[in-house]
Amino acid sequence: MEILVGTDRQVPGREELLSFIGFEVLAGLGPCASRVSNVHVHLSAETGGRIGPVSMRCRLEVRPEGHEPLAVMHRALSKDDAVRGAVGDMRGVLERMFRRIDAHGATETTRRSA
């Protein structure tokens, strides 16, 4: 599985952050990780002109092998919580999708309506 990480200019993409995200993605997706070809993580700070603490937004997009990409977004007050929340949300999405696919047979793929 390939993991790509992007950040905005307010979130430095230091090596510690990249290691943390890689670990969280692999551990958090659990058994679903073996059925995913790549993961794109984008972490950004949201201020929106508000007064108060800056919230973090993590957008997580995965491409399950043989299927269309899936994406989730999670907001939290810290980078760690935003990443963990997005990974947890994605694991739920993937588990439901794979459970549905496995119940109907391995040859079926998801399709996007035009």
Q: pLDDT tens digits for 60-93?
A: 999 999 899 999 999 999 999 999 999 999 999 9
DSSP state of 104: H
Q: Is residue 92 part of a domain?
A: yes
How many domains is the chain built from?
1
Q: Is residue 114 part of a domain?
A: no
Per DSSP bridges, beta strands 70-76 and 55-64 are antiparallel
Between CA 20 and CA 27 the distance in angstroms is 11
Q: What is the pLDDT of residue 54?
A: 72
Backbone φ and ψ of 44, nearest 5°: -145, 160
Please give the average per-residue pLDDT across 24-33, as a whole number. 93
Q: Higher model confidence: residue 114 or residue 35?
A: 35
Between CA 91 and CA 6 the distance in angstroms is 20
The tokens describing 22, both together, are: 């890689």
pLDDT at 113 over 80: no
73 close to 57: Cβ distance less than 8 angstroms: yes
Q: Is residue 111 part of a domain?
A: no
Q: What is the pLDDT of residue 107?
A: 53
Show the domain range for 18: 2-104
Q: What is the pLDDT of residue 89?
A: 96
Please give the average per-residue pLDDT across 36-53, as a whole number. 82
CATH of residue 52's domain is 3.30.160.100
Q: Is residue 76 part of a domain?
A: yes
Please give the average per-residue pLDDT across 15-28, as a whole number. 93
Q: Is residue 11 part of a domain?
A: yes
CA distances from 36 to 4, 45, 47, 75, 99 (A): 13, 27, 32, 23, 15
